[in-house]
Amino acid sequence: MIKKCLFPVAGYGTRFLPATKAQPKEMLPILTKPLVQYGVEEAMAAGMDHIAFVTGRNKRAIEDHFDITYELEDMISGTSKESQLDCIRSLIEQCTFTYTRQNHMRGLGHAILIGEALIGEQPFGVILADDLCVGESDGIMAQMVKAYEKYRCSIVAVEEVPVEDVDKYGIVSGQHLDDEYVRVEYMVEKPSPQDAPSNLAVIGRYILTPDIFEILRNTPPGKNGEVQLTDALQAQAANGKVIAYRFRGQRFDCGSIEGFVDATNFFFNRKP
């Protein structure tokens, strides 16, 4: 069983300035729920009830969100508003939350390595809350757990993207095992369209085996001078230990304004 899920949430969210000047980008709401809560719900639905955050400066609102707010809760107790807190209350009751800080922004790989203290020696999920995912039946992370149970190695969620967009993603290529799975042979972070080995892009869902930490410790800065998770995964892929999984569902890039608006419209139209 995979019990822990890591959320790297130290990034600045400069694309949403000034909205993110004094609040974490992960707290921007899609309707009434902050982005990060969708991610935690997805982890929880996959059986991961230990939620580990790698936070940074100006991110305290995330900790407060996953805690009780006595004064407010007392104030609305017994009113019609109370039920609006049901979803977050149930997460707080069911999950354990742990936090550590990334002091320097040295890339996603570095953030994951900082998270080692919260994860230890076990396979774990990673959710990048900017990528808001809606599964067709099961959530994406629950689908990935099934992929892990089948292959017992690191799993990355992938989808095809337009060729002109490959420079925004980690791109994979390898042996297509069937419609759903690719045994990854090659991974590269944000290649130019002419250098990309395919248009299969990694989106922000991973299951990682714990040997990734030792690999990350020895991974030098790569693309943009940052320690790239993609480079560490390439070391596992070289041993046939990374499977790319084409998830069933939809993903919104809520790190971009267009994706954020699309997600908002999607959830608004789906409202009961």
Under the rule (CB under 6 A), what is the footprint of ligand G1P? 108, 128, 131, 169-170, 189, 201-204, 229-230, 255
**Residue nearer to ligand G1P on the CB measure, 37 or 234:** 234
Contact present, 262 and 202 (Cβ < 8 Å): no
Minimum distance, C-beta of residue 232 to ligand G1P, in the bound complex (Å):
11
Buried b (16+ CB within 10 A) or exposed e, 39-62: bbbbbbebebbbbbbbbbeebeeb
CA pair distance 94, 85, nearest whole angstrom: 14
As measured in angstroms, the least distance from the Cβ of 255 to ligand G1P is 6
3-state secondary structure 131-183: EEEEECCCCHHHHHHHHHHHHCCEEEEEEECCHHHHHHCEEEEEEECCCCEEE
With respect to ligand G1P, which residue has the nearer C-beta, 88 or 110? 110
Tell which residue, 29, 17, 10, has the closest CA to residue 254: 29
CB of 52 to ligand G1P, least distance (A): 18
**Across the strands, what pairs with 176?**
182
CA distance 134 to 132: 7
Q: Least separation, in Å, of the C-beta of 68 and ligand G1P?
A: 31
Nearer to ligand G1P by Cβ, of 42 and 131: the residue is 131
Question: Which sign does the torsion angle of CA 78, 83, 88, 92 carry?
Answer: positive
Chain residue whose CB lies nearest ligand G1P: 170
CB of 27 to ligand G1P, least distance (A): 18
Cβ of residue 85: shortest distance to ligand G1P, in angstroms? Answer: 30
CB of 164 to ligand G1P, least distance (A): 15
The phi, psi pair for 123, rounded to 5°, reads -65, 150
Q: Is 11 or 123 the residue whose CB approaches ligand G1P more closely?
A: 11
Nearest CA to 55 out of 96, 103, 117 is that of 103
Beta 249-253 vs 29-30: how paired, if at all? unpaired
Choose between 116 and 189: whose C-beta lies nearer to ligand G1P: 189
**Residue 103 or 224 having the CB closest to ligand G1P:** 224
Q: Which is nearer to ligand G1P, 49 or 262 (CB)?
A: 262
